[in-house]
Structure 1
Amino acid sequence: MDVADANEPVRTAGSGGSLPRCQPSSRLSASLPGVLGGLTAFGLLFALTATGQAGLPAAGALAAAGGLSLWGARRAASTAAATAATAAAALARSDAALRQARDELALMRARARDFTAASPGWFWETGPDHRYLYLSDRLTAMLGCDPRAVFGWSLFDLGTLVDDAATWAEYRADIEAGRPFQELEVSFEGVDGRDLVLRLSAVPVHGADGRFRGYRGCGVDATAETLALVEARFMQAVVHDAIDSVSEGFVLFSADGRLLICNEQYRRAYPTIADMLTPGRNFSEILRAAAERGGFEGEGDIGAWVEQRLTRHLQHSAPVDGRLSDGRWYRISEHATGTGGVVKILMDITELKTREEELAGQTARLKQTVTALQESELRYRQLVELAPYGIVIWDRAAIRFANGAAAAILGIAADALEGLPLAGFLEEGGTLEATLAAGMERAGMEGADFDDRLADGAAADGGRRLECTALRPSGERRRLEVGATPALYRGEPAVLLVLNDITDRRRVEGELQRAQKMEAVGRMAGGIAHEFNNMLTAIGGFARLAERNPADPVRVLTCVQEIAKASERAAALTGQLLDFSHRRVADERELVAVAPLVRDLRVFLKPLLSAGIDVAIVAGDETAHALVNPVTLSQALLNLALNGRDAMPDGGTLTIALTVERPDAAFFARHRDLKPGRYVAIRVSDQGGGVPAAIRDRIWEPFFTTKEPGKGTGLGLWMVYGTAQQAGGAVELEGEEGRGATFAVYLPAADPPAAPAASPGPDLLQVAEGEGAAILLVDDEESVRRYLRLALEEAGCTVTEAADGLEALERYDGAGGLFDAVVSDVSMPRMNGPELARALEGRNPLLPILFLTGYASKETAAGLTAQAGRQIVMKPVAPERLLQALRDLLAV
């Protein structure tokens, strides 16, 4: 086989026309020198093949055989020329040698083909300029394309296929110097998309003159090996990461006792030898270091201790617990591997040891407590049985436990109570059971975490108390106070009931309350007399002043007006007392101009105040209006003024000031039920000693007073407080002790009313044009009846009087029922107002009736006005209010 010229294209099999195939030489049979030359070329090719395969014959043997043949041929030729006689013999020997050489050459060719076919790689050859002269067909088959498309034309083109530039620099230096190189690794993407990794090795070829003739080399496919190595490294990293992630300490020793893998948890357990726990260390070496650094305690030979530990290490005994040099407890387990190595695992059991020690202590304490608990149980059982209160456990279905006191309270034997329903022993028992059950559910008895809440005491907050009546089998009724608390009965939610018989206590309390009520009534009577004396003083005084000079109409009118105001205030006081006893309907509020009302106080206060007290009224804001009862407001201001007077026995100035303002946020923080906005503020200030801080919170209580007995009822400030509350406002005490007192009444400000329209004409009460209403007037008080008759007749009404209900029926029947309306008092002898109304309803169901009363509860008022055409007006009633109520009735 001829070696291609360095300037010719690379000859490869299967490369088509562009890569000419190498043809075997035909000149070998023509002359012996040609044969010998062919043998020499074949020897070189075989040597190239042999360099890539281990176990092939050495290239020197082939070269020696070719040299011998050449030497024999030359000698035969010279002998033939010298001696003709020996020519034939020499020629015969040459033919024999030639045949032998041909046989050997054929054998060598067959051997080279077999070796090449069996080799997993391919072969190549370059010239002195490192350009490829030969690339075997196996490379083309492996790549699936022309090798030049990957390898280029020269060895230097391989640099683009080497990943590491530094590595390629080393190999390039060897190639440029003509030195042999091994395992040059190149990687690239094949035509099928797979990543390929190839390794090339080569030896330099030198001529007879020692000159560098190029490289001959081989290559192998290392793709599978590289991928396997990458996968192995990845798996190694995964395994190491997994071992480092576990909470246990882990170490692996090989069969010869050398450390292979050790995680950080294991190193932390042995801080004194952490630096020794590195791959490659021998176990005995690590043990000796541990002994020298303090791991060996006691007397004896360290070597013996190391041998003992090494023996235990190799025996793989059962797990042992021990405290290591980091101060923590570990459970140490050693296991043999399949390859003869040892795996050692450390499990941190410090917390477990701590719990074991705590449990041991608790067990000891528990044993000591059992006896105490038994004694405590006996003691508490005795307490429950001997308790003066009834104790019952009720599971909302039946009574499950009852002590002797409960049995005595309910009037039945204790053993007979168990299993009976609770409702059977209580008046309205079903309702009480539902109430108790609902209360316990709100307390948190339902749910899986009830035991925890009960243990924490949270459920105890849901306990409730109520009063009920117990019904004994004998028919006797007993008043009970029942306390209900969540409890457990046989692991299920239940209710613990504590029964207290309060029958006797309630009787004594009732008697005490009645005694206190009589005392309060007595004190109230004195207070009412005091307040009414003040008003009667004003009424009588103004009446006497009018009598002295009846010819002065202005003076008489002024006195009469003040008498009317005093009577209104007296009526307001009566109304407040009725409100206090819940015996009348509260007066309706109306839009009041506050400034004139405050200024009118000057005339009324003047005869009530002592000579040393000056009154200063500042009420210039005419826009101040409030929705309030004017009578109760006047009475409240009067009470404050009288308190100011009493606070200044030596004289001083009493100031009443009116303002419209917007209170600050602190005010509404104190009165959270009030809405922010404009308020009418009326302040009554005195120059007395002020209110002591110790009683500031009590001055608003009913019957609380600081005055001497007989000089105050303690109702004045309470009425002021009630007036402000009724109007939707508040009252506050301002000022400091020792600097006088200022009481501020705050009322929600209202817009002033529109200007009134001009009066349409006379204020008459008519049912038709020019025809006055016919009224049946019924009242048992003659003076009241006379007043009402005059007021009605002034309005153009025709009035028929009656002293009670029976007389009213006679008048009604006598007139044939020709009445437009009835005005009747509620409380009368023989037949009262409601009875009269029922009697008249049978005669005329549509007859309007106006009831007048000095007091009536809300229930009574609602019953009187339930039917259409009925109204109720509180006494005393002004003429305007009486006529307006009748107009409203007749207009329906």
Structure 2
Amino acid sequence: MDVADADRPLRSAGAAEPVSGPSPPSASVSGFLAGLAGIGTLLGVSAAGHIAWPMAGALAGTLAAGGLAFRTARRAAAAATALARSDAALRQARDELEELRSRTRDFTAVSPGWFWETGPDHRYLFLSGGLTALLGCDPRTVFGDSLFDLGTLVADRATWAEYRGDIESGRPFRDLEVSFEGADGRDLVLRLSAVPVRGTDGRFRGYRGCGVDATAETLALVEARFMQAVVHDAIDSVSEGFVLFSADGRLLICNDQYRRAYPTIADMLTPGRSFAEILRAAAERGGYEGAGDIGTWVEQRLTRHLQHSAPVDGRLSDGRWYRISEHATGTGGVVKILMDITELKTREEELADQTARLKQTVAALRESELRYRQLVELAPYGIVIWDRAAVRFANGAAAAILGVAADALEGCPLAAFLEGGEALEATLATAADGPETAPRRLECDALRPDGERRRLEVAASPAVRDGEPAVLLVLNDVTDRRRVEGELQRAQKMEAVGRMAGGIAHEFNNMLTAIGGFARLAERNPADPDRVLTCVQEIAKASERAAALTGQLLDFSHRRVADEREVVAIAPLVRDLRVFLKPLLSAGIDVTIAADDDAAHCLVNPVTLNQALLNLALNGRDAMPDGGALTIALTVETPGSAFFARHRGLKPGRYVTIRVSDQGVGVPAEIRDRIWEPFFTTKEPGKGTGLGLWMVYGTAQQSGGAVELEGTEGRGATFALHLPAVDPPAAPARSDPLQVVEGEGAVILLVDDEESVRRYLRLVLQEAGCTVVEAADGQEALDRYDEAGGLFDAVVSDVSMPRMNGLELARALETRNQLLPILFLTGYASRETAAGLTAQEGRQIVMKPVAPERLLDALRDLLAL
């Protein structure tokens, strides 16, 4: 349907209701004129109004009867006049009706909504074309055939129940909201309103109503509510208190932070409250403490509220400090913001207290600085601030120690005053990096401008100068003290050497007794090979023990090069002690050796280990002057966690443990920590050197193990030597001849000034298939080398020789053949000397005495390079 249908009444299909009303006026007028013509005939009057006089007589005769007819005619004429007026009024009414219809069509055309009408059964009789244009389809496909079909389009069931009740009762209703998806996919929201139509008899004849498109309004309302929720959420989320008043002083928005700041009036901070009401409530609930009128106070606060002055700080009723600021809005309202500054106030108070204390501290520091400046200047030690580039401060003592004026030190490099200054600077500079890497102290020589040398003890620690890392140096002149200490040490060393001489003589006499005794036994019966072999083996063992003793003496004098370790079966070594100990122990000492675990092996120097066990056994002997039991026991065990806690440098695992126990009086508790010190002894002068346990400790350390004292005072002593256990060595390979090429022995130049040693070495080399050329010293060796045209595969040379020593010989041979292998043999050599001998590739050093196998293995290694 369209707007043009608005002037046509809608009827339901198959039913047409008759319309009642007056007859057309044209029919009434015609009837009236017909009656008037009849009367004129009777009177003899023509239609033109002329009387036919020939009939006058008849008329006169009938006048009496015609009076009634005249009156009727007059009534008919009056009726005709009234009828003409009614016809004019009817035409005017029709014109007005047409104008009303035209106005209705115009209003309908320009209306944003549409119109509708239902019958008494609520079925639609009329739906204007505006709805069709809005929906883009037949409205009945959406709205159905009846008002009751709208229930499926109402979102809220309770709302539809109320509207349905109005519709069923025939009551007017407004703004029934329906929502659905339109033909174009958009969500539409429509609102319907209607009034009931009733007949003259009051019966309900249906609804007439209109509808509007509320989609845009609804979406705007939803968006507005969403934005309102977002704004309120944002305001509630901020840490500051926030309140907004309208232009007329009404509260619009207030967040929880603001309410928490005013707990006494939190219930008043609701939308709609006026600022005056809130102020009065605050005054009545304790916010006003003055003596004047509350109303005046409220007026003053209102005035200040509207002035928007600068932010003020105040403590509110929640007990916290806030910075309160008020700002005018564009609409004339007021925004009030509370910033919690309690922490800031606390910090300000703390800062004020700190400032006061700082002033006191500064005064104290000034006094302390003056006092410490005096202490620094008067200190007997040199105090220097060095920034790793130059000296920045030096006290008088430092200047005196270095032999210069105090002002001459500042700005000068530290290296200029110290011997080896650049290397010392590099070492001392690490002190600025922190206490972990800083050296605690070191000693060096200071070189004074006058040439005098002074010994200094320098302590370095990190410091700060002008915000940058620096080093604080404390200089102590120890020249005189070191001189006195040196003299005392020399005196003590001479005394120790004197004490040690007796012990060494005792030990060597024991070894010489064994060597000489077994040699004589072998001579007495040379035809008995088993007896001779036993004597020779014991002589070899005694010589090895003597070598171990000289090695320990070299350790003491710092002349030993290194310890040569090998995998040793410990059980046979321990069992062999019985033969050696028997002549050394008194008749009252009962020796028990329990060493049955032949699988126990360690990486040790067998000679030093033998000597260590001998020292422990002799100590046990001395601890039992009246006799007793001496036990040497061998076990393989895995120590517990407590052992490794005491010895953090040791690796967990299996250890071979040798315990030497006696039944003496034990070791007093007060000296247990000192027994491992060199030269410490409790024996009478001449009966001990104080080096025995120190050598045992060194043997344990060099073997990667530890030694401990077990037992308690008064119940004997047990010394436990713990050595890391290793796997047994593989079966030794067959000793092949020493050859340089297949079937050709090596040619060796042998140099040694000791004839017996040279003879022994020659026999060993010759047994290995070597051709040997001998020389008694380095000069003779050069002659033999040149005579042979340098056709030697290797040189075996002693280090210490007359005329030309081994090192000088090596340098001379280097000019002839840089690739010539040289094996040095020496009874003693410092580590520095050994490093110089082996600095060049193709050179090795072996300590004397040297076993045949050791000599040949070293030569094989050299020739294999």
Query: TM-score of the superposition, structure 2-length normalised?
Result: 0.81
Moved more, 660-669 or 613-622: 660-669
Moved more, 597-606 or 670-679: 670-679
Q: 1:505 aligns with which of 481, 498, 502?
A: 481
Q: Give, as a single letter, the amino acid of the residue that structure 1 aligns with 2:618.
A: L
Q: 1:471 aligns with which of 425, 447, 451?
A: 447
Partner of 2:504: 528
Matched, 1:710 2:702: no
Matched, 1:650 2:621: no
Cα–Cα, structure 1 residues 287 and 81, in superposed 2: closer, same or farther, change >3 Å?
Answer: farther
Matched, 1:31 2:7: no
Q: Deviations over 1:156-181 (max 9, x none)?
A: 11111111111111111111111111
Partner of 2:59: none
Partner of 1:285: 277
* 1:777 and 1:799 in contact (8 A); partners too: no
Shift of 1:737: 3.8
Q: 2:83 aligns with which of 81, 91, 94?
A: 91
Matched, 1:7 2:13: yes
Moved more, 281-290 or 233-242: 281-290
Q: Work out the percentage of aligned pairs sharing the same amino acid.
A: 84
Partner of 1:732: 708
Q: 1:191 aligns with which of 175, 183, 187?
A: 183
Partner of 1:45: none
* 1:777 and 1:789 in contact (8 A); partners too: no
Partner of 1:856: 829
Matched, 1:352 2:352: no
Partner of 1:203: 195
Question: Whole-Å Cα distance in 2 between the matches of residues 358 and 771 of structure 1?
Answer: 94
> What is the DSSP-based 3-state SS (H/G/I as helix, E as strand, rest coil) of the residue aligned with 1:83?
helix
Q: 1:139 aligns with which of 99, 118, 131?
A: 131
Partner of 1:699: 675
Cα–Cα, structure 1 residues 81 and 721, in superposed 2: closer, same or farther, change >3 Å?
Answer: farther
Shift of 1:151: 1.4
> What is the DSSP-based 3-state SS (H/G/I as helix, E as strand, rest coil) of the residue aligned with 2:635?
strand
Q: 2:220 aligns with which of 219, 228, 248?
A: 228
Question: Whole-Å Cα distance in 1 between the matches of residues 212 and 172 of structure 2?
Answer: 17
Cα–Cα, structure 1 residues 732 and 106, in superposed 2: closer, same or farther, change >3 Å?
Answer: same
Question: Whole-Å Cα distance in 2 between the matches of residues 427 and 112 of structure 1?
Answer: 122
Question: Whole-Å Cα distance in 2 between the matches of residues 859 and 217 of structure 1?
Answer: 121
Q: Deviations over 1:730-786 (max 9, x none)?
A: 3333334444333233344444455678999xx9999999999998775457x7678
* 1:705 and 1:714 in contact (8 A); partners too: yes
Question: Whole-Å Cα distance in 1 between the matches of residues 83 and 768 of structure 2?
Answer: 182
Question: Whole-Å Cα distance in 2 between the matches of residues 34 and 253 of structure 1?
Answer: 78
Shift of 1:489: 3.8
Partner of 2:95: 103
Q: Deviations over 1:248-292 (max 9, x none)?
A: 212223344332221111111111221222222333333333233
Q: Deviations over 1:308-336 (max 9, x none)?
A: 43443344444333221111122223334
* 2:747 and 2:791 in contact (8 A); partners too: no
Q: Give, as a single letter, the amino acid of the residue that structure 1 aligns with 2:146.
A: S
Cα–Cα, structure 1 residues 796 and 205, in superposed 2: closer, same or farther, change >3 Å?
Answer: closer
Question: Whole-Å Cα distance in 1 between the matches of residues 720 and 27 of structure 2?
Answer: 143
Partner of 2:62: none
Question: Whole-Å Cα distance in 2 between the matches of residues 270 and 766 of structure 1?
Answer: 106
* 1:780 and 1:804 in contact (8 A); partners too: no
Partner of 2:593: 617
Q: 1:390 aligns with which of 382, 390, 393?
A: 382
- Report matched runs for 1:369-388 at 5 Å: 369-388=361-380
Question: Whole-Å Cα distance in 2 between the matches of residues 167 and 883 of structure 1?
Answer: 115
> What is the DSSP-based 3-state SS (H/G/I as helix, E as strand, rest coil) of the residue aligned with 2:357?
helix
Cα–Cα, structure 1 residues 5 and 32, in superposed 2: closer, same or farther, change >3 Å?
Answer: farther
> What is the DSSP-based 3-state SS (H/G/I as helix, E as strand, rest coil) of the residue aligned with 2:721?
strand
> What is the DSSP-based 3-state SS (H/G/I as helix, E as strand, rest coil) of the residue aligned with 2:122?
coil
Q: How many aligned positions are there? A: 817
* 2:666 and 2:713 in contact (8 A); partners too: yes
> What is the DSSP-based 3-state SS (H/G/I as helix, E as strand, rest coil) of the residue aligned with 1:469?
strand
Shift of 1:684: 2.0
Partner of 2:61: none
* 2:654 and 2:724 in contact (8 A); partners too: yes
- Report matched runs for 1:287-436 at 5 Å: 287-436=279-428
Shift of 1:305: 3.6
Question: Whole-Å Cα distance in 2 between the matches of residues 756 and 392 of structure 1?
Answer: 64
* 1:385 and 1:405 in contact (8 A); partners too: yes
Q: Deviations over 1:539-595 (max 9, x none)?
A: 466567778989988667655644443333222211221133232334533443333
Shift of 1:827: 3.8
Shift of 1:337: 3.5
* 1:410 and 1:471 in contact (8 A); partners too: yes
Question: Whole-Å Cα distance in 2 between the matches of residues 729 and 322 of structure 1?
Answer: 76
RMSD between superposed Cα atoms in Å = 4.5
Q: Give, as a single letter, the amino acid of the residue that structure 2 aligns with 1:609.
A: L
Q: Give, as a single letter, the amino acid of the residue that structure 2 aligns with 1:235.
A: M
Moved more, 501-510 or 614-623: 501-510
Unaligned runs of 5+ in 1: 11-21, 36-78, 444-458
Partner of 1:581: 557
* 1:683 and 1:745 in contact (8 A); partners too: yes
Cα–Cα, structure 1 residues 507 and 80, in superposed 2: closer, same or farther, change >3 Å?
Answer: farther
Question: Whole-Å Cα distance in 1 between the matches of residues 307 and 751 of structure 2?
Answer: 125
Partner of 1:17: none
Shift of 1:154: 0.9
Shift of 1:132: 0.8
> What is the DSSP-based 3-state SS (H/G/I as helix, E as strand, rest coil) of the residue aligned with 2:626?
coil
Moved more, 655-664 or 219-228: 655-664
Question: Whole-Å Cα distance in 2 between the matches of residues 205 and 470 of structure 1?
Answer: 126
Cα–Cα, structure 1 residues 80 and 380, in superposed 2: closer, same or farther, change >3 Å?
Answer: farther
Matched, 1:239 2:212: no
Moved more, 842-851 or 334-343: 842-851
* 1:200 and 1:218 in contact (8 A); partners too: yes
* 1:656 and 1:683 in contact (8 A); partners too: yes
Cα–Cα, structure 1 residues 487 and 571, in superposed 2: closer, same or farther, change >3 Å?
Answer: closer
Q: Give, as a single letter, the amino acid of the residue that structure 2 aligns with 1:576.
A: Q
Shift of 1:637: 1.6
Moved more, 548-557 or 305-314: 548-557
Cα–Cα, structure 1 residues 362 and 812, in superposed 2: closer, same or farther, change >3 Å?
Answer: closer
